Amino acid sequence: MARPLRAEIDLAALCRNYHTASALAPQSRSMAVLKADAYGHGALACARALTGLAPAFAVATIEEAVALRDGGIETPILLLEGIFEASELAMVEALSLWQVVHSEWQLEAVLAYRPRRPLAVWLKFDAGMHRLGFSADELRCHWARLRQAPERVTDLHLISHFSTADLADDSAFQAQHAQVRALGEALGAPLCLANSPATLQHPPAHGAWNRPGVMLYGSNPLEGMLPAGVALEPVMTLRSRLIAVRTLEAGEAVGYGGRFCTRTAVSAWSPPATATATTAMLAMAPRCWSTASAAPSPGECRWTCLPSTSPRWPMPTSAARWCCGGAGSMSTRWRGTATPSPIPCSPVCCRGRRGSICRRQSRRR
């Protein structure tokens, strides 16, 4: 018998979160990021739900783009990591993909390729993330070379990725933003800068395009709370059942390294009960997509599949939801009786205060 684990995907919530992202930047076009199988939510189903809303999608690799095209998605798709070998340029052309160019060899491959029609190129500037991209001097040189090859390159954009847009202290972000903004103005380049954190809390970084990603799936990427008046709805609900209930004394250490100590006398466990099991079970969990959902309500949780209960909050009923409300909140809240029953929860990772264990976001009906 399979473990009682099911991931439910609320596509209506996904669309509402996209509308929220778009409303935050009305002068920008918002490209929905669907990389990593839409952060585990099912890229094709999410793309179909967002078709007609999002003017473009972004994925990491060409394999992800092929899967969307094979599924009938005709919306423009940007390859955030570009090509991995020169031979992929033929597929980029055949599938009408847009590509990021962040390395010298990619640039040379594009300039050596002879397309039937010019390829859309987004040149990447390293504004401080220091993973992919060119320095300012390199980018100016490469931009000029690409502009001189209109038979090979079209729709040239400047793209960058902020490393500190999520922080409450925005001093580093402001320096990064000023650098890339000045570079864009000097080149007369259309800009694509704002990831989810910058979309949420840095309107000056909104460009011709924004790239909301994890926020579309209901996760708050900021170090602190969401801006006033902004609400995001969790898109995934993971349902499971309790597998064991342990009675522990208050102050007992639980798990590897004893990093968590009980504050109540009872701990409840449901499969999967470890990070490894969570990853494995999510890969096998059947997904159920829907386009309608109840309105969310806030709550809190300590860990996706490691709830802690107490006499004050007995074992949950099917009406309970595991939720993660405000930043830094790590308690649990239950309603119901002591009868074990299905527990809805969500594995969407949501960061709160720095240094906290990865917390999860969901809702109660």
Annotated domain spans of the chain: 11-217
Catalytic site residue from 18, 39, 113, 256? 256
What is the dihedral angle through the alpha carbons of 199, 204, 206, 211, rounded to the nearest 10 degrees?
-40
Neighbours of 22 (CB within 10 A): 19
Question: In the structure encoding, which two tokens stand for residue 165, read together?
Answer: 């847009």
* Per-residue pLDDT at 186 exceeds 80: yes
Q: Position of tokens 């504004």?
A: 127
Helix axes 136-147, 104-112, angle to 10 degrees: 0
Alpha-carbon gap, residue 289 to 255, rounded angstroms: 33
Distances (CA, A) of 180 to 125, 163, 306: 8, 13, 43
For the chain, the 3-state helix, strand and coil shares in percent, each to the nearest 5, are 30, 20, 50
Rg (CA), the chain: 23
Q: Using alpha carbons only, what angle is made at residue 341 by residues 46 and 11, rounded to the nearest 5 degrees?
A: 10
Higher pLDDT, 290 or 145: 145
Mean pLDDT of all residues in 232-243: 85
User: What pTM does this model have?
Assistant: 0.76
* Per-residue pLDDT at 237 exceeds 50: yes
Give the range among 170-179, 272-281, 356-365 with minimum mean pLDDT: 356-365
Mean pLDDT of all residues in 12-23: 97
Strands 266-269 and 244-247: antiparallel
**b/e map 70-99, b = 16+ CB within 10 Å:** eeebebbbbbbbbbeeeebbeebbeeebbb
Which has the closest alpha carbon to 74: 57, 92, 91?
A: 57
77: enclosing H helix or E strand: strand 77-79
Helix axes 171-187, 136-147, angle to 10 degrees: 30
DSSP secondary structure letter of residue 51: B
* Per-residue pLDDT at 320 exceeds 90: no
Active-site annotation holds for 39: no
Strands 29-30 and 209-210: parallel
Distances (CA, A) of 77 to 14, 65, 236, 304, 352: 18, 7, 24, 33, 31
Higher pLDDT, 113 or 317: 113
Active-site annotation holds for 35: yes
Instruction: Determine phi and psi for 284, rounding to 5 degrees.
Output: -100, -10
Q: Identify the architecture of domain 11-217 in CATH.
A: Alpha-Beta Barrel (3.20)
pLDDT recorded at residue 314: 38
* Per-residue pLDDT at 280 exceeds 90: no
What percent of the chain is modeled with pLDDT above 70?
71
Catalytic site residue from 35, 39, 113, 124? 35
What 3 state SS string does 232-264 have?
Answer: CCCCEEEEECCCEEEECCCCCEECHHHCEECCC
Mean pLDDT of all residues in 245-271: 76
Distances (CA, A) of 106 to 95, 134, 138, 140, 192: 18, 12, 14, 16, 19
Beta bridge partners of 122: 100, 157
Alpha-carbon gap, residue 269 to 314, rounded angstroms: 14
Q: Which regions of 213-361 does DSSP assign to beta strands (E)?
A: 236-240, 244-247, 253-254, 260-261, 266-269, 287-290, 308-309, 343-345, 349-350, 359-360
* Per-residue pLDDT at 36 exceeds 90: yes
- How long, in residues, is the chain? 365
